[in-house]
Amino acid sequence: MKRIFKIILKILVVLICLPILYGLISLLLSYISINTTPSTNSTNLVYLHTNGVHLDIIIPKKNASEKLLQDLALDETDAFLSFGWGDKNFYLNTPEWSDLTFNNATKALFLKSATWIHLTKYQHKRSDWTPVYLNNAQLKKLNTYILNSFYLDKNQQKVLLQGKGYTDIDDFYEATGSYHCFFTCNTWVNQAFIESDLKACLWTPFDFALIDKYTD
């Protein structure tokens, strides 16, 4: 009985220490910056936005590539396109943070799962967006990264999830990749910046870490 108690105690210690270790490593890697050399001819503009936890990349429609715009459900008045990526179940069952449950959070973080792209369309720029300047080559890479995150059907078309949006200005699309604790919605955004040769964190699951690098 005493041996069983020790085993249970060790398991509890490990379960308590793992999240702490994850958080400490995440903060350390978030602090380390890469792609810090200033780019030349950075005349294009995109934005970062967070709802407090979840990061999105916002691209002016005029700066979105033709392939990225193809098959998207857009109106002529849509001027800014906000792209987020995340766990399908989390998006579906947690429309607001007040809906968050331990079960949904655990599934999203520790079980590899299907993913969606969340597209929100704006007619006007908002004051709480963080501007990011980039050159033509970086913009092209960013467009390509987002495009490659869309799942394409057998006809090479993006797959819109009818009636799944939260409001009349947003939609969900089938996405590629799996969501887990080492590749979260915010990691997806940070990775987009890494692959676009933009200043980014070495790795981060946090929203504030990347935004802080553009608000110094």
Report, as an integer, the average pLDDT of 21-38: 89
Quote the pLDDT of residue 133.
97
At 177-196, the pLDDT tens digits run: 988 888 999 999 999 999 99
Report, as an integer, the average pLDDT of 151-180: 94
Tokens at residue 131, please? Answer: 């501007």
Tokens at residue 113, please? Answer: 């799962």
Q: What does DSSP assign to residue 53?
A: S
Task: Please give the torsion angle defined by the CA atoms of residues 70, 73, 125 and 147, in that order, rounded to the nearest 10 degrees.
Answer: -40
pTM given for the model: 0.87
Query: In the sheet where 80-87 sits, what is the strand order?
Result: 130-134, 44-50, 55-60, 80-87, 115-122, 170-174, 160-161
Quote the pLDDT of residue 17.
54
What span, in angstroms and rounded, lies between the C-alpha atoms of 124 and 147?
23
Report, as an integer, the average pLDDT of 127-139: 97
Higher pLDDT, 179 or 149: 149
Query: Is residue 66 within a helix (H) or strand (E), and if so which, with residue range?
Result: helix 66-69
At 85-129, the pLDDT tens digits run: 998 877 776 555 555 555 555 555 555 678 999 999 999 999 999
The answer to whether residues 141 and 197 touch, using CB atoms and an 8 Å cutoff, is: yes
